[in-house]
Every structure is written in structure tokens, then in C-alpha cells.
Amino acid sequence: MLQAQERSPCTVKQYGHIARTFLSFAQKPLDEVTLRDLEAFREYLVLQRHYSKNSVYTTVRGLTCLFRSFGYSVADQLEPPRRPERLPRYLTEEEMHRLFEAVTESPRDNAIVHVLAFVGLRVGELCHLQLEDIEFERNILHVRSGKGDKDREVVLEDRTRAAIDRYLADRTISGASSLRLFPVGSVTVERIVRRAAQRAGIPRRVTPHMLRHTLATALLSRGCDIRYIQKLLGHASVATTQIYTHVDTQALRDAYQRAKPQY
């Protein structure tokens, strides 16, 4: 049913896990579930499974979707917790340089890291790219059915285009024929980025989504209009993009030095 609603594969998998976990806990059919059963499940997740607020929030959303799919409204009364507002984590330019150096030996991994770092794609968007989504004449990449089932166009800058060209040339030599640009799954992409960060000597846990945060932060620090960053990242609202205005501490420091009062 979620697939019919064109939910992302990640959401389908996540909500499916939530449904199975709840049904195993409740031990009763959906039409007999009460609000008290749902509240007991939430308490179990917090007290016994030590779920974070973000995890509980996602679980409540998943349960609401589950019950609505079968025509029941009992989960509508279950209030999700307020999610904490955390600043996105990002890499410095020096760390990014080391990350690129760590993937020079693999044309595929090098191209994947370049697309994540310079185009700002979500992992799911990268994994679903087709060869036909690249307009080589215009250096444009078409992102089909991104979050919210929205399409967008993004620009391929020179280094990313060159990385893709090297990868495709290497793929031709090896005889690969997939219609997908990168015929890999999200777990593989996460592993590529994590291992590259380890080889680069970056002590923090680095994820593909962190490269998306890094791009947005770097663009904003260089004066890029926040509306263009919103379009590039595929954010439905500029309010989502505005979180990056709180991340660039150097810009904050410079602005403060220019405007601080002279007591």
C-alpha cells in the first residue's frame, strides 16, 4: 500500500519494521487495538528499548500510517514527541580534500563521493539515478521523484562531470551494462563514504548525508542565495534550508566583529 502511495523504499522498509514490531508486542488484530495499547507500546520503546525522541517520533508516524491504511483512526490520538532541533554536522574544506584523496583509486567510489559532495543528493536519489538522467551537452543532472515525489535539475560542475566520465569509461571497459548510473544500494554508498573517511583519517563518523550538509554550509558561507540552495537540495520550504544559517560559525564571528557595539 505504501508503494502504491509512491513512498520511498527507505520509508516502506522502515514503516514495515515498525508494523511488525508493534504487532509482535500487541498480540492482537488491528481492529481490537486501543489507545492504551499504543501508549503502552510507546512506553515500552522508551523504557525498555531506550528509543530516542527522533525514533519515537518516526514510530508514531509509522503507526498512524499503518492504522489509516486499514481505515482505523485510533493512532491519530497518539501524540508524537517534539523532536530536538540539532544542528547538522559537516566537514571542513581540509577534511573534504582528504576525503577526495581517499577515493582516487576507485573511479566508481570517486564519482559517488563527487556527486554527493558537489550535487548534494540524498542517498536514495543517487541510487536511483539512470544514465539517461544526465544531459552531457548541458552538464545537467535530472533528479527524478526526489523527496515529496518532486523532480529537479541540478548543475554538474567540472570536477564532478570529469569524475563521472572517468567512471563511465572504466565501466565500459569492464563490460557493465546497467541502466542505472550507480547500480549499488544505500548500504554500499554508506560503506564507501565511511571507509573513505577512515582512510582520510577523519575521526568522526561520516555519512553520505553529512556531505549534503557540507555542501549547503559551504555554499552559504560563500554568499550563495539561500533560495538557490533550497532548489539545489530539493527542500520543500526555505525554512528547512535556513538551519544552515546557524551552522557557519566563521560567518557568525565575522558578522559579530563588524557589528559589535563599542562600549
* Cα torsion angle, 158, 164, 167, 168, sign: negative
Q: 2, 12 in Cβ contact below 8 A? A: yes
> Helix 53-69 and helix 35-47: axis angle, to 10°?
150
Is 128 an annotated catalytic residue? no
Residue in 42, 108, 122, 128 annotated catalytic: 122
CA angle 51–57–59, rounded 5-degree value? 75
Catalytic annotation on 235?
A: yes
Bridge partners of residue 152, in order along the sequence: 143
Q: Say if residue 131 is exposed, middle or buried (CB neighbours under 10 Å; 0-12, 13-18, 19+).
A: exposed
Residue 27 makes CB contacts below 8 A (sequence gap 6+) with none
209: annotated active-site residue: yes
122 is known as an active-site residue: yes
The answer to whether 95 and 190 have CB atoms below 8 angstroms apart is no
Choose the catalytic residue: 42, 108, 171, 212. Answer: 212
C-alpha to C-alpha distance for 93 and 241, rounded to whole angstroms: 20
Q: Of 144, 147, 166, 195, which one is the catalytic site residue? A: 147
C-alpha cell at 7: 513512498
d(CA 168, CA 181): 8
Q: Write the CA distances from 144 to 71, 134, 237, integer angstroms.
A: 31, 11, 19
Catalytic residues: 122, 147, 209, 212, 235, 244
